Structure 1
């Protein structure tokens, strides 16, 4: 048995180029497959955490400041919007329509905290003019939940000395806004639930669900298996195609 295996291995000659391609691509494909599985697991934990905390009763804003893990916690707020410092987040699509999300500072009366509230999505059909929105003047009672992004997003920074309000950005970190305004504020964005002063508030939790990561992982593993099968085929097929001996030699004499 060992002799036949050794003999078979001696006949396996895939060539240098296919071997180099195999050594580079196979670990890469397998690694990407496991990375997609890991990302899918992270997204599933995120979705499970969201589902659990979204059915819980809202906490007070005073409790919010002391929490080590505030992600997706529902919070009851009472306070007033700062209409002078509005941010419009660009490139937000809903049902195939282009739009923006409206973010404004909100001063909570109970805790004295400044919070960055996302009031929801607005359509933007004509990019020549900014979307129209209104801001309530009176104090409001609102329910919102803490949004913690699963990863860093690309961010366009505006020059505070020249940028005017409302400001159009692709992303915004609350800490950057508080530093610019010279205020002490909460570190995460809060997304409002449907209520007074809100727009479209049907929020997706993650841009890509866990099931998509699983599908991508299966694709990477399938491609790795196909590459391995092709490599083995070339190794055996090339060996079989090689002629045995030196071929037919001419023995004619003049």
Structure 2
């Protein structure tokens, strides 16, 4: 058995360059596949957590700061919008249509807490004209849920020289807004459910579902397997070609 293995290894000659390529790419592909599997499981836990909390009874605004893990908690609010400091999040697509999400400070009367409330998506078909929206002037009752983005939140800040409202941004962390306005507010965005003063509120839980991560993992593992198969093929094929070439050259020499 040992003799046959040793004999087979002697016949395997893949070459230096293919070996170096495999040593670099194979661990990378396998690593990326494992990472996608891990991300898929993380997204699935996130979706499961959302599903459980989404059917729970809403809590009051006063209870928000008491929670160690407020992600996806439903909250019942009553208060007023601050229409003067509106933020429009750009590059938000729905069903292939360009639009924005409207975020406004909201003062919850029961708790006295300032919240950054996302009122939903509205279309913006003509970039030459500003998006059109209105804001209720009277106090409203509505339900919302706490949105916590997976991973670190990417923040883009407005130009300090620009103080014009509403502001068009790509992303905004609530803490940046509260610091600018000199207010003490809740540190996470809240996304409104359908109700008074809301626009399109069919929110995706995650930008990429767990099934896509698993599909990407399969692709990476398949490419790793194909690379390994090609490496083995070249190793055996090169060895078979060399004796044939050597014999041909010696015949010509004679």
Give me the TM-score of the superposition, normalised by structure 1.
0.96
Cα distance, 1:65 vs structure 2 = 1.1
1:25 paired residue number? 25
Trace 1:109-120 onto structure 2 (pairs within 5 A). 109-120=109-120
Count of residue correspondences: 251
Trace 1:101-180 onto structure 2 (pairs within 5 A). 101-180=101-180
Contact conserved, 1:74 with 1:146, CA < 8 A, in 2?
Answer: yes
1:213 paired residue number? 213
Q: 1:249 to 1:193 in 2, by over 3 A?
A: closer
Trace 1:1-254 onto structure 2 (pairs within 5 A). 1-243=1-243, 247-248=250-251, 250=253
Q: Distance in 1 between matches of 2:162 and 2:206?
A: 34
What CA deviation, in whole Å up to 9, does each residue of 1:166-203 have, x standing for no partner?
00000000000000000000000000001001011000
Deviates more, 1:27-36 or 1:238-247: 238-247
Q: Distance in 1 between matches of 2:3 and 2:27?
A: 30
Q: Distance in 1 between matches of 2:155 and 2:67?
A: 27
Cα distance, 1:250 vs structure 2 = 4.4
What CA deviation, in whole Å up to 9, does each residue of 1:64-113 have, x standing for no partner?
11100000000001110001000000000001100000000001111111
Contact conserved, 2:61 with 2:75, CA < 8 A, in 1?
Answer: yes
What CA deviation, in whole Å up to 9, does each residue of 1:8-62 have, x standing for no partner?
1011110011001000100000000000000000000000000000000000111
Deviates more, 1:151-160 or 1:46-55: 151-160
Q: Distance in 1 between matches of 2:166 and 2:253?
A: 90
Q: Distance in 1 between matches of 2:183 and 2:193?
A: 25
User: Aligned-pair RMSD on alpha carbons?
Assistant: 1.2
Q: Distance in 2 between matches of 1:250 and 1:94?
A: 73
Higher helix share: 2
Following TM superposition, the consecutive aligned residue runs of length 4 or more in structure 1 with deviations greater than 3 angstroms are 152-155
Q: Distance in 1 between matches of 2:27 and 2:252?
A: 46
Q: Distance in 2 between matches of 1:249 and 1:122?
A: 80
Contact conserved, 1:57 with 1:74, CA < 8 A, in 2?
Answer: yes
Q: Distance in 2 between matches of 1:249 and 1:207?
A: 66
Gaps of 5+ in 1: none
Contact conserved, 2:153 with 2:173, CA < 8 A, in 1?
Answer: no
Q: 1:250 to 1:65 in 2, by over 3 A?
A: closer
Gaps of 5+ in 2: none
What is the DSSP-based 3-state SS (H/G/I as helix, E as strand, rest coil) of the residue aligned with 1:242? helix
Contact conserved, 1:154 with 1:170, CA < 8 A, in 2?
Answer: no
Q: Distance in 2 between matches of 1:154 and 1:64?
A: 23
